Structure 1
């Protein structure tokens, strides 16, 4: 009887757990975004921007949103770390691709990196959220301008859920709306990528 009750209790109190990759070129603001997500959804102050160092390897952030636990994996964006990203593709439920809207010189490199990721068979059917970061800075490309560059490869996204949204990870503008959009897509995509129950 105890086992039955214990199992029922665990089932009722368990959370759906999802894994979300945060990737993009180095210096795009991925770790700043992760800190801002924790700040917005957990009500805790994030790290001060001057204390955020470039990610070498992996940063993890766990955030409870509604009835789900979202595990964000912030992966380093240096070119020699891109091959590591593929190891996480089969386990992830969604991908957040962060673009530095002020780095016009590397926009083509960013597009090539994005294309390589979306054409990998392991991410087929996974929702993709592209965030045009650093919108608070003067000279930042608008979302429309970024979409224009990426439109050439948009057909490769297929029928999966995808969106491009403007944010400022530093100031927090647009972060809550972006993550709210993502959570809805994670739950809609349960059949393709079932959540883990813990």
Structure 2
């Protein structure tokens, strides 16, 4: 049950739509504050932030469980969980998009200041690295070409790379980047939770 290239493109569009309010929040948040202050206060209330924050945290925990399931064999973790790696990888992708949605609900599109702004940008980079990597990899896998020619450098204009080598090289770049960003995100998430409770 691996998502097809067309499904991943659709998920990328959904992700872009979910991220759009972050671009326009400097315009609509002041209007919301001016026109419906009670609703604005509801979005800023501790109860709203806790409920939506815990919802996002549940998605993060599920994502980490899925990561352990996907990488359990290579990490020598003995976990007996039903389902194929492709199923769990697909769930990881869909839950990642759901996490973007829950983050939008939690922040109402506000980019934050200082630490929260950096934390949010790291999260955006985590999402971007995953989407770019998975979409590119799936596009190569589904391509009818067996070899790919690159002419970025004149010395390699006539050389071709097989599908398998290209995917391995691409995965070495995007997956490493994704894992580094996820590690940064998790450390910042812990600090975000501590700060949220400290200032409560």
TM-score (norm 1): 0.27
Q: Decide which structure has the larger Cα Rg and report it.
A: 2
Which structure is higher in helix share?
2
